[in-house]
Structure 1
Amino acid sequence: MARLSWTALLVAALANTGAGLSIARGLPRPTWKLLPTGTTARFRGLAPVSDKIAWVSGLGGTVLRTTDGGLTWASVGPAPSESDNTTALDFRDIEAWSADKAIILSIGEGNSSRVYVTGDGGASWTRSFTNEEDAAFYDCIAFESPERGMAMSDPVDGKIRLIETLDGGQSWNIVESAGMVPAEDGEAGFAASGTCLATTAGRWYVAAGGVNPSRIFRSGDGYTWDVSDAAIAGGEGAGVFSVQFRDAEHGIAVGGNYSDPTGNINNAAWTKDGGVTWLPATAFPDGYRSGSAWVPGRGFCNTALAVGPSGSDFTLDGGKFWHRFDNGSFDSVECVEGPVCWASGEKGRVARLVLT
């Protein structure tokens, strides 16, 4: 279990305000503790429930679950059948509420975009949604409560497509698009970490790229939407990959260009007005970042992490200054009470970071 003194990190951060933070000599350095998963699948889907229970999902229809803090993992993905070749699916996003209940989203064109739900720890799965629109390509899924959730797709007929569940993922309906802001030509989401769609305090957010500048859509109910420039450079393969809100006002966004994993300019932004306006970070994460997460708990209100193929960064001031602390490759990060942060990525990599 990797532990660190966050007070010591705060002292070091305040003493080093440049983009290339070097934690002072003699102070503890945060370190991810890798957890053996026994597989080489790439896990972009990550859903920790507690310091002991976590789910990951990814390539080859792979879904793993731990109930002992990552010491051991059980393979609990949907079993393939003649009518449902789940081993060909890429489960890019997963949501979980316990060791028993979880929902997974596979991505891809046409009927490769699907949703499955389990209530018995993965012993059985029910396919509750199959995409039937040729133009749709689902990227992310998010829940504001155990009952209500949404999944977002790249634009269909010129607008971001959303589907909604009101019964915990058992059934899904397409959200009427009249309240959605039109997308720009080439604009789309990124299925990189399950955080291109986010919800906090009853509000909803969609991160997008493919156009410059990139944009973030926002809604107070999931039905009527506005959009703002995100202050993050966009273009082909570039834009906002992850958006996360601590509360109704304070949010962070990270991204960049996945073809340039070490690019560290114009790849992060922050807001304090609910996403109406976004400001670029003063010191950027040290490379393209696909995932981000706020750290919960008293004394951590302005603390967040960001991860990507070239490393991990933290901020102690709500996204203004980012400081690198690890160079390992991860795609996704999420934190739970404890506070305990989990990360997942390529080659079966899953790790934990315990903050004190």
Structure 2
Amino acid sequence: MRFLRVAAGAAGGLLLMAQVVPAQASGGSPYRWELTPTGSTAQFRGLAAVSKDIAWVAGTEGTVLRTVDGGKRWQNVSPKGAEKLQFRDVEAYDARSAVALTIGPGADSRIYRTTDGGNTWTETFRNTDPNAFYDCFAFSTSKHGLALSDPVDGKFRIAASTDGGKSWKVQPNDGMPAALPGEFAFAASGTCLVAGAGRTAWFATGGGDRPRVFRTVDGGRHWKVSDSPMASGEAAGIFSLAFRNSLFGVAVGGDFLKPNEAVKAASVTYDGGRTWKLVPADKAPKGYRSGAHFVPGSLGVVVAVGPSGSDVSFDGGRSWKQFYDGSFDSVECAGHGAQAGCWASGAKGAVGRLVR
């Protein structure tokens, strides 16, 4: 979405040493963020959690960083020649392989891929349509990925990959419902589009007279759409989706211009996104939230982040409690058992690891 353009500085040196710093928690939550200074001033809206030790972040001025030791050291692995671009999403499955998306109109929307830990990158997609603007992407497996563009000729556009991001093909739009006037997706945290099991995926919108959630079960070829009771408007809508399984999901958002207000900021679904139930204001996050993710190993623990704080839900998103008043844009969890971990990223090079 064009509205969410932000500027920040470039990353620091080749290998960034960090001393982890506990972040102050509030509200008696068992969770807190352990800050892992990156030495960068970039705004990291792109985040890929692989485990408690491995994570990638991507942001402004073409900056991509990677850690393999829980944030003690951050390595600058930014693609050469991308300094004028803004990364808004990154997907990774291990310490060596990652795919990263830059945003912008026309040729500014690009996808890069590395298989050697960021030592080298290959540009695998460059948008050639001046009316397209790619916001986010997601992979359901190490091979199958979808990338989402704001509407072109009245419909959202999907590009698909079946080879791990080596190549991308823009999909026909006859299976895509028409967009509403003014409708778009938010390039806020890399989670406006999320993938589920098999060939299922969802994406969320705002900007129109109501936010909506689109769902596919055939890998992006055909979509069905449902209305949401959350806020919508020039800077309002659903900013992030998170699904625990094919039925159970949460949506967070609100109004980007009112970061401290919970303006219809969260909803839940129990039928795979076909219907959504609004979380009441007294139980919702305490402000606009741009990212959410389920905590691994839990049945219904969800963490949401935004510029005015972080919240946790222990009941699958039906009620929320703020535990941190600092700013993050993105959150993602990954891994299993002892290797499971949650990370958050945001402005001024901020990255945190969730601990309890």
TM-score, reference length from structure 1: 0.90
Deviation at 1:22, TM superposition (A): 3.9
Q: Give the match for residue 147 of structure 1.
A: 143
Taking only aligned residues, the RMSD between alpha carbons, in angstroms, comes to 1.5
Asked if 1:113 is matched to 2:109, the reply is yes
Amino acid at match of 2:204: A
2-side partners of 1:239 and 1:325: how far apart?
A: 23
Matches within 5 A, 1:104-253: 104-202=100-198, 203-221=200-218, 222-253=220-251
Instruction: Check the 8 A contact 2:57/2:66 in 1, yes or no.
Output: yes
1:302 to 280, 300, 303: 300
3-state DSSP of counterpart to 2:201: strand
Instruction: Check the 8 A contact 1:2/1:353 in 2, yes or no.
Output: no
Q: Give the match for residue 84 of structure 2.
A: 88
Q: Give the match for residue 34 of structure 1.
A: 35
3-state DSSP of counterpart to 2:348: helix
Instruction: Check the 8 A contact 1:148/1:165 in 2, yes or no.
Output: yes
TM-score, reference length from structure 2: 0.90
2-side partners of 1:347 and 1:281: how far apart?
A: 31
Q: Give the match for residue 286 of structure 1.
A: 286
Residues 182-205 of structure 1: CA deviation (Å, up to 9, x unaligned)? 100100000000000001123110
Matches within 5 A, 1:256-335: 256-282=254-280, 283-297=283-297, 300-335=298-333
Instruction: Check the 8 A contact 1:2/1:354 in 2, yes or no.
Output: no
Deviation at 1:244, TM superposition (A): 1.2
What is the number of residues matched between the two proteins?
328
Deviation at 1:354, TM superposition (A): 2.5
Q: Give the match for residue 50 of structure 1.
A: 51
Residues 209-235 of structure 1: CA deviation (Å, up to 9, x unaligned)? 001321111111121111111211101
Deviation at 1:41, TM superposition (A): 0.5
3-state DSSP of counterpart to 1:140: strand
2-side partners of 1:47 and 1:165: how far apart?
A: 18
Residues 61-104 of structure 1: CA deviation (Å, up to 9, x unaligned)? 00000111000011001112xxxxx1000000000111110000
Residues 150-185 of structure 1: CA deviation (Å, up to 9, x unaligned)? 100000111110000001101100011111111001
2-side partners of 1:237 and 1:325: how far apart?
A: 25
2-side partners of 1:204 and 1:341: how far apart?
A: 22
Amino acid at match of 2:150: D
Deviation at 1:46, TM superposition (A): 0.4
Instruction: Check the 8 A contact 2:32/2:355 in 1, yes or no.
Output: no
Q: Give the match for residue 93 of structure 2.
A: 97
Amino acid at match of 2:206: G
Instruction: Check the 8 A contact 1:265/1:284 in 2, yes or no.
Output: no
Instruction: Check the 8 A contact 1:150/1:162 in 2, yes or no.
Output: yes
Q: Give the match for residue 252 of structure 2.
A: 254
3-state DSSP of counterpart to 1:194: coil
3-state DSSP of counterpart to 2:107: helix
2-side partners of 1:281 and 1:216: how far apart?
A: 16
3-state DSSP of counterpart to 1:87: coil
Classify 1:22/1:99 alpha carbon distance in 2 versus 1 (closer, same or farther; 3 Å): closer
3-state DSSP of counterpart to 1:43: coil
Instruction: Check the 8 A contact 1:2/1:31 in 2, yes or no.
Output: no
3-state DSSP of counterpart to 2:61: helix
1-side partners of 2:257 and 2:223: how far apart?
A: 30
* Superposition misfits of 4+ residues, deviation over 3 angstroms: none
Amino acid at match of 2:212: R
Deviation at 1:141, TM superposition (A): 0.8
Q: Give the match for residue 64 of structure 2.
A: 63
1-side partners of 2:226 and 2:201: how far apart?
A: 13
2-side partners of 1:263 and 1:126: how far apart?
A: 42
User: Which residues of structure 2 form unaligned runs of 5+?
Assistant: 1-19
Instruction: Check the 8 A contact 2:230/2:237 in 1, yes or no.
Output: yes
